Amino acid sequence: MARKLILDVDTGIDDALAIAYALASPELELIGVTCTYGNVDVAQAVRNSLAILELFGRTDVPVYAGPQREGFEVMDISQFIHGVNGIGEAELYDAARAPERLSAVDFMVQSVHRFGDDLVIVPVGPLTTVAAAVEKDEHFAARAHIVCMGGALTVPGNVTPCAEANINQDPEAADLVFRQCADVTMVGLDVTLQTLLTTVETKQWRALKTAGGDFLADATDYYIKAYETTSPHLGGCGLHDPLAVAVTADPSLVETLPINLKVDTEGASRGRTIGDETRLNDPAKSARVAVGVDVARFLQEFMRRLTGLASETPVV
Ligand code: BDR
Ligand code: CA
């Protein structure tokens, strides 16, 4: 039976790839997309998510808006990597439908109660909405299963020497989630910067001559170009968010380290994900951090699934 999935996105180019990966995965049933801020604001994340779902013919998947941190403004570096519209200036029609009235926080809380162990929540943006769900419902932290993209345990951050972008947006929320939630898998830069895509692959999408293929190629080429400037040593763009979805569909793609995590919230190391020294000797570990990844197998699955999905969209 497919596992039910809530994908929490700040859509974002790699968030768009994560939505596509979820739609193309028979192991997962996407029951809702919740929108947060980060690469763009919540309103734009909602707009992009609705448009992407419509492009792939999945107007049955509801979209929910989450809370936005007070004073949030899109960072210059986010705009450089993802474009002003968040999807690399790729052009998509606005969806004909609107987001749901229910808030993302309430949707998460209700879904955890309704589906229990059959549900996994995959946040691939700041953990603001998940933290709000923990604070709203006393059972949420114990019952929710979470696979998040964020953090960096064995490598430097990508916004500061210590902080990864998603954690950096709201370190307090991430700290609360890592300290309180009973089951968290962290898919961070340790592994997501090993899974890289180049224009060799995006050409395959363009060759499909479909609306979905063109969108994936246009958005990802923009993202690859940005990475050529910010991280030329990598030789491709990081497939951060789709890797978290792939790990949810198939946990054997990564090796993990059991650990109790916390996030530094003060000083120069603000935003750092690190072991919680106060729980070092606790034999129960609430988190697993991905530290190794089967790159070849993931990339093969990524291309197979997304190319299949894009080939089913209208010919252009
Ligand atoms: C993370 O930050 C965002 O810019 C990406 O979408 C990804 O979720 C990578 O650090
Ligand atoms: Ca993201």
Pick the closest to residue 216 from 9, 14, 6, 11 (CA basis): 14
Ligand 1 and 158: CB distance under 6 A: yes
Position in ligand 1 atom list of the atom nearest CA 12: 6
Of 77, 80, 122, 149, best ligand 1 pocket probe by most atoms within 8 Å of the beta carbon:
149
What's the 288 CA to ligand 2 centre distance in angstroms? Answer: 20
pLDDT, mean of residues 249-274: 98
- Alpha-carbon span 191 to 45, nearest angstrom: 25
Structure confidence by residue, pLDDT tens digits, 41-65: 999 999 999 999 999 999 999 999 9
Nearest CA to ligand 1 atom 10: 165
pLDDT, mean of residues 3-15: 98
> What residues does 8 pair with on adjacent strands?
34, 123
Ligand 1 and 68: CB distance under 6 A: no
- Long-range interactions of 292-297: CB distance < 8 A, separation 24+: 292/191, 292/254, 292/255, 293/191, 293/194, 293/195, 293/243, 293/253, 293/254, 293/255, 294/252, 294/253, 294/254, 295/194, 295/195, 297/253
Active site residues: 10, 240
Nearest CA to ligand 1 atom 4: 39
Ligand 1 and 241: CB distance under 6 A: yes
Tokens of 2: 């497919």
Domain ranges of the chain: 3-312
What's the 146 CA to ligand 2 centre distance in angstroms? Answer: 15
Residue 90: per-residue pLDDT: 97
What's the 199 CA to ligand 1 centre distance in angstroms? Answer: 20
What's the 165 CA to ligand 1 centre distance in angstroms? Answer: 6
Tokens of 123: 């946040």
User: What are the backbone dihedrals phi and psi of residue 132, each rounded to the nearest 5 degrees, phi first?
Assistant: -65, -35
Longest dimension (CA), the chain: 59
Percent of the chain past pLDDT 90, that is, above it, reads 100
- Alpha-carbon span 177 to 123, nearest angstrom: 11
> Which band of pLDDT confidence, cut at 50, 70 and 90, is reported for residue 67?
very high
- In total, the chain counts a number of residues equal to 316
Structure confidence by residue, pLDDT tens digits, 134-162: 999 999 999 999 999 999 999 999 999 99
Percent of the chain past pLDDT 70, that is, above it, reads 100
Residue 8: per-residue pLDDT: 99
The CATH number assigned to the domain with range 3-312 reads: 3.90.245.10
Residue 151: per-residue pLDDT: 98
Ligand 1 and 44: CB distance under 6 A: no
> What residues does 237 pair with on adjacent strands?
197
